[in-house]
Amino acid sequence: MNAVVAAVAIMLVLSLCRIHVVVALIIGAVAGGLIAGLPLEATIEAFNNGLGGGATVALSYATLGAFAVAIGKSGLAHALADKALALVGKQDEGKAVGGIRFLIVGLLLAIAISSQNILPIHIAFIPLVVPPLLYVMAKLNMDRRLVACVLTFGLITPYMFLPIGFGGIYLNEILLANVGENGVDASELNVMSAMALPALGMLCGLLVAVFFSYRGDRKYNMDTIEQTERVDIQYNGRTLSMAMIAIVTAFVVQLWLGSMILGALAGFVLFNVSGVVKWKEADDLFTEGMKMLAMIGFIMIAASGFAEVMRETGEIATLVESSVATIGDNKAMAAFLMLVVGLLITMGIGSSFSTIPIIAALYVPLALEMGFSPLAIVALVGTAGALGDAGSPASDSTLGPTAGLNVDGQHNHIWDTVVPTFLHYNLPLLGFGWLAAMVL
């Protein structure tokens, strides 16, 4: 059995059995290395060497977490929650519950999409915005699996379709650059045309989740929510204004210096200077923010070690070659198998951005040989990279929603985030990505 397939399967099975994702990643990586024939010492060394690859991401999330806690201290998120709660009160007088639900869903979707381009802070907004809304959502009997699907859509679709913010990195600096380096002239290609059909598949999955799968009621323990989130936060016009200024400052610094870490630190310092966060509270708040996203950081570090072991085995190339060798000149089957392999790799690594460089060197020459057009190759590689971002236990696109929705312990990462997003996004993305490869 191919070591990559075995390692990913072991990791997924352990995660589904409610083994912690970090433990599942470590066991999967070691098992994959041993199955590939690597000595235990070499497997451990490869895993350790890969850990550093996730350090920058982990530190970014830690500082963004501290910034998010500072924004929470300003009362911005609670002001939003209080407005929503007032609307829920009107619902008792005849206001439709469904309208308020769609208002919350639309708001979270807009913020999630904006977090990838307009204000590229990625998942840092989730532990800031979502927890204060849990009380409101529970009053409305909203299914948190719906919110998880909405947030994951907003975290993934913009970067795989819009070449702005994180999308500019994924589509231009990673996808087109790697496709170009492997024999395709990508200078004149319209990347949005190539990724339009896959993005449409994501939209279809979102609509199914919103209007069919999770439109019904789901009960949550209100006492637990009140104990964890209904904390009296004092806010006024000044604190809310400073929050907006700090957000803009963090955005500008991040674009100017190209560093999420420095952008978040600039925003946090501004809260200190303005007095919204008192100097004597700054250390505790910063530590609290780091703790909030610490689990995500550790999982991303472990995922980097897992990815390095998979590379060291050399069986990623073997997996691709053996898959394609079985179907000869059948373009339709070749496209499907390449997408499935991309799904397996990304689910194990947890990062679309890291998957593209691995598969492009293998996919592009193969796709050229089989007669795929340059636009179809871009769609094929781009979709293969994005597949698995939703539905991976180690992806920040699933870890982020869980971090916000599970603050009261009533939202399971695997069964309430990973499984729903896998079913609603990977399956349509697989179908629409295959269609794009065949028609472009």
Q: Pick left, alpha or beta for residue 151 (phi over 0 → left; psi -120 to 50 → alpha; otherwise beta).
A: alpha
Task: Provide the 10 A C-beta neighbour count for residue 236.
Answer: 10
Cβ contacts of residue 240 below 8 Å, gap of 6+?
74, 75, 76, 79
How do residues 123-141 score in pLDDT, each as one tens digit? 777 877 888 888 888 888 8
Q: How far is CA 293 from the centre of its chain?
A: 13
Reported as a single tens digit per residue, the pLDDT across 253-280 is 877 776 667 777 888 888 878 777 777 7
Residue 245 main-chain phi, psi, to 5 deg: -65, -40
In a domain, 351, yes or no: no
Q: Is residue 81 part of a domain?
A: yes
**Total domains, the chain:** 1
Q: Are 38 and 46 in contact (CB under 8 A)?
A: yes
Buried b (16+ CB within 10 A) or exposed e, 1-16: ebbbbbbbbbbbebbe
Query: Is residue 216 classed as helix, strand or coil in its secondary structure?
Result: coil
- Domain membership of residue 416 (yes or no) is no
Structural domain includes residue 421: no
Q: Confirm if 407 and 438 have CB atoms less than 8 A apart.
A: no
More confident residue, 336 or 280: 336
pLDDT higher than threshold 80 for residue 3? yes
At CA 391, angle to CA 423 and CA 57, rounded to 5?
160
Residue 93 confidence (pLDDT) above 60: no
pLDDT confidence of residue 258: 67
Greater confidence (73 vs 92) lies with: 73
Q: Of 305, 333, 337, which Cα lies nearest the Cα of 320?
A: 337
Alpha helices in 94-216 (DSSP H): 97-114, 126-139, 144-161, 166-167, 177-181, 191-208
The percentage of the chain sitting over the pLDDT mark of 70, rounded to a whole number, equals 85
Q: What is the pLDDT of residue 340?
A: 87
Structure tokens at 253: 């610094």
Supply the pLDDT for residue 89. 61
Are 435 and 157 in contact by the 8 Å Cβ rule? The answer is no
Q: How far apart are CA 331 and CA 18, in angstroms?
A: 39
Give the DSSP H or E segment for 411: none
**Contacts of residue 178, Cβ cutoff 8 Å, sequence gap at least 6:** 356, 357, 360, 361, 364, 381
Q: Which domain, by its residues, includes 202?
A: 56-294
Residue 224 located in a structural domain:
yes
Which of helix, strand or coil describes residue 320? helix
Residue type at 263 in one-letter notation? G
Q: What percent of the chain has pLDDT over 90?
A: 20
Closest C-alpha to 91, from 130, 141, 129, 143: 141
pLDDT band at 66 (very low <50, low <70, confident <90, very high): confident
Region 67-93: mean pLDDT is 67
CA dist., res. 125 & res. 242, Å (int): 17
**C-alpha radius of gyration, the chain, whole number:** 22
The answer to the question of residue 241 being in a domain is yes
pLDDT of residue 87: 67
Residue 55's pLDDT is: 67
Is 374 among the domain residues?
Answer: no
Query: Residue 83: which H helix or E strand, with range?
Result: helix 76-91
DSSP secondary structure string, 94-124?
T--HHHHHHHHHHHHHHHHHHTTTTS--GGG
Cβ-based neighbour number of residue 220 at 10 Å: 19
Distance CA 294, CA 65 (A): 9
Residue 411 has pLDDT above 90, yes or no: yes
Q: Which of 135-144, 222-231, 260-269, 301-310 has the lowest mean pLDDT?
A: 222-231
Interacting residues of 3 by C-beta distance below 8 A, sequence separation 6+: 32, 33, 35, 36, 310, 313, 315
* Reported pTM: 0.78
Confirm whether 18 is domain-assigned. no
> 412: Cβ–Cβ under 8 A, 6 or more apart, which residues?
18, 406
Q: How confident is the model at residue 296 (pLDDT cuts 50, 70, 90)?
A: low
